[in-house]
Amino acid sequence: MGVVYSILIVDDDLVFRQSLSVGLKKYGFQVLQAATGQEGLISLSQNKVDCVLLDLGLPDESGLDLVVKIKTQYPYLPVIMVSASGETGDIVEAMKLGASDYLKKPINYNELNEKLKTQLEFVKFKQTEAELESPSDPLKKLLGTSIQCKLLVQEISKIANSDATVLLRGESGTGKSMVAEIIHQHSQRKNGPFVPLNCTAIPETLLESELFGHVKGAFTGAHRDRMGRFKSADGGTIFLDEIGEISTEIQVKLLRLLQGKEFEPVGSLKTIKVDVRIITATNRNLEQAIQEGKFREDLFYRLNVLPVFVPPLRERQEDISILAEHFIKNYSKSLGKNFNPISNELKNFLMQYSWPGNIRELQNVAERAVILASEPDLKVSDFKLDSHRSLSQNLEKPALKLINGGASFQSLKELEYQQLMGAIEESRGNISQVAKRLGVARDTVYRRLKKYQIALKNT
């Protein structure tokens, strides 16, 4: 039995979709259907799709915009535009944006079959060619279609091949450790080791030894020489999470390593040279820690050569349902369960929540829902969320509402500003209370105050 190719039809005309589906099945294709752009993107994230037949006019977004989103996430996936007569200009524009070919309605099935065969053969060649260069693209781990996600991907692509230090900043649970690993996998050091360490996971008294190693007899319990994390990472990348929590003594030793690529193990006078790239991460306000004398300013500048901000999930509204579907699919597969695509009601519910725990919280909530749900259609009641964390709690206007399968909402900037002002008023300008109400870190509040040029008398 030969390969069965899967075709995704994205068109809001139900009669046309069903008719086209019947025709494609006669030629031996497997067919998936989507009525909106958002449904199409979710279907792509959940299924193996070999080609997309895309209508220009969709209820939630332009077919041209969807071409860009598809080609950004799936560069080798062929997209064939389907249009009525009189849309020649849009077809030309779609081809410029990355569409592979086009068809006019009514469909000539012999012509369609030939175009599909041509595109599928071409993409098979391109994928084979790409796999010879790189077996997989690490950037595909960053799921999402939001502008914030795209900008993060672009930034990673720009900085990956440099050996300069990277400082990842962002709230807890945003995926900083995954971003660090992707940077390594996308770099010239990808064949070397990637050594991660959460600095808060090791007792402070043992952290120096964990990082730099020790010699036998260096301290009570040091019964043999031990190679530290930096030596283990030689030729590759070390990732130090929660860098803002390390002691000033370790900061001095780390600064020397950054300056000369060398260090001494605990209890030894022998200098060890290492070739390692350093990526660090924090959710703390390091500038404030410098002012308080808790973090060295010279070390900060050494670590902050390439700063990267990993955005919180609530600022990636378009990605929430995509990530939710991804986690649901993974957990349901491991548990042997099957669920239908999530409803617009559930999408709206998830998008209105502020996600203080970010992607990690969404992942945990999705896992719990999959474990406890007993029906194929997941409901709002399956997702136990804190109602006080709703984005709309401090707003006079509704935060988000789905219309015809798509999102129509006030600008995120306006929403964020109103949410911030509401929290400030309720907290009487107390930064800690503002951060607590919004479910964010204090440095995030400071960043937003600066962004909107808000001055508080009591901070």
- What pLDDT, on a 0 to 100 scale, did the predictor assign at position 309? 94
* Of 135 and 59, the one with more pLDDT: 59
Residues 126 and 168 in one domain: no
Which is more confidently placed, 245 or 389?
Answer: 245
Q: What is the rounded distance in angstroms from the CA atom of residue 189 to the CA atom of residue 151?
A: 23
Considering 133, 151, 167, which residue would you say is the last residue of a domain? 133
Confidence band for 446, pLDDT divided at 50, 70 and 90: confident
pLDDT reading at 278 higher than 60: yes
Number of independent structural domains in the chain: 4
pLDDT score for 457? 54
**Which range among 183-197, 201-215, 392-406 shows the weakest confidence by mean pLDDT?**
392-406
Tell me: the pLDDT tens digits for 334-366?
888 889 989 989 999 999 899 999 999 999 999
On whether both 219 and 232 belong to a single domain, the answer is: yes
- Looking at residues 264-280, what average pLDDT do you find? 94
Mean pLDDT of 203-223: 87
- The residue from 290, 309, 328 where one domain ends is 309
List the beta bridge partners of residue 308. Answer: 168
* Whether pLDDT at 124 is above 70: no
| Amino acid residing at 258 | L
79 lies in the same domain as 160 = no
Q: Is the pLDDT of residue 128 over 60?
A: no
CATH number (domain holding residue 152): 3.40.50.300
Whether 189 and 48 share a structural domain: no
The CATH number given to whatever domain includes residue 325 is 1.10.8.60
Q: Is residue 459 part of a domain?
A: no
Query: For 200-208, what is the mean pLDDT?
Result: 85
Q: Are 211 and 228 in contact (CB under 8 A)?
A: yes
Give the Cα separation of 184 and 156 in Å (integer). Answer: 10
Would 456 be classed as within a structural domain? no
Higher pLDDT, 137 or 145: 145
Q: Which domain holds residue 233?
A: 141-309
In a domain, 15, yes or no: yes
56, 75: one domain: yes
- Nearest Cα to Cα of residue 277 among 212, 201, 192: 192
- Residue partners of 19: CB distance under 8 A and separation at least 6: none
Question: What is the CATH number for 432?
Answer: 1.10.10
| Confidence (pLDDT) at 393 | 44
Q: What is the pLDDT of residues 239-251, one digit of tens each?
A: 999 999 999 999 9
> pTM for the full model?
0.57
Do 369 and 418 reside in the same domain of the chain?
Answer: no
* Mean pLDDT computed over 438-456: 73
What is the per-residue pLDDT for 396? 36
pLDDT tier, 204 (very low <50, low <70, confident <90, very high otherwise) = confident
282 assigned to some structural domain: yes
Q: Are residues 360 and 397 in the same domain?
A: yes
Q: Of the candidates 117, 133, 149, which is a domain's last residue? A: 133
pLDDT confidence tier of residue 412, bands split at 50, 70 and 90: low
Q: In this structure, are 187 and 252 located in the same domain? A: yes
With CA atoms as reference, report the closest residue to 187 among 154, 164, 160, 167: 160
> Poorest-confidence range of 46-60, 83-97, 405-419, 442-456?
405-419
Reported confidence tier of residue 68, pLDDT bands at 50, 70, 90: confident
In a domain, 240, yes or no: yes
Q: Is the pLDDT of residue 140 over 80?
A: no
Residue 116 in any domain: the answer is yes
Contact of 20 with 44, CB cutoff 8 Å: no
Cis-peptide into 106, omega within 30 deg:
yes
Residue 54 near residue 10, CB atoms below 8 Å:
yes
Indicate whether 229 pLDDT > 70.
yes
Question: Of the ranges 173-182, 345-354, 390-399, 407-416, which one carries the lowest mean pLDDT score?
Answer: 390-399
The pLDDT of residue 445: 79
Is residue 115, in this structure, part of any structural domain at all?
Answer: yes
Q: How confident is the model at residue 400 (pLDDT cuts 50, 70, 90)?
A: very low
Same domain assignment for residues 21 and 98: yes
Distance (Å, whole) CA 350 – CA 314 = 10
Question: Can you give the pLDDT at residue 392?
Answer: 46
* Residue 458 included in any domain: no
pLDDT tier, 398 (very low <50, low <70, confident <90, very high otherwise): very low
What is the rounded average pLDDT for all residues in the chain? 84
pLDDT at 438 over 80: no
CA 204 – CA 206 distance, rounded (Å): 5
Same domain, yes or no, for 286 and 350? no
Instruction: Give the residue, 286 or 138, on which the prediction is more confident.
Output: 286
Residues 259 and 354 in one domain: no
Examine the pLDDT at 432 and tell me if it is beyond 70: yes
Query: What share of the chain in percent tops pLDDT 70?
Result: 86
Which CATH number covers residue 94? 3.40.50.2300
Confidence of residue 262 (pLDDT cuts 50, 70, 90): very high
Over residues 145-171, the pLDDT tens digits come to: 888 998 999 999 999 999 999 999 999
Predicted confidence band of residue 430 (pLDDT cuts 50, 70, 90): confident
Same domain, 201 and 252: yes
Task: Evaluate if residue 66 carries a pLDDT over 90.
Answer: no
Report how far Cα 456 is from the mean position of its chain's Cα atoms: 33
DSSP of 164-183, one letter per residue? S-EEEE--TTS-HHHHHHHH
Measured torsion, CA atoms of residues 302, 308, 312, 314, in degrees rounded to the nearest 10: 150
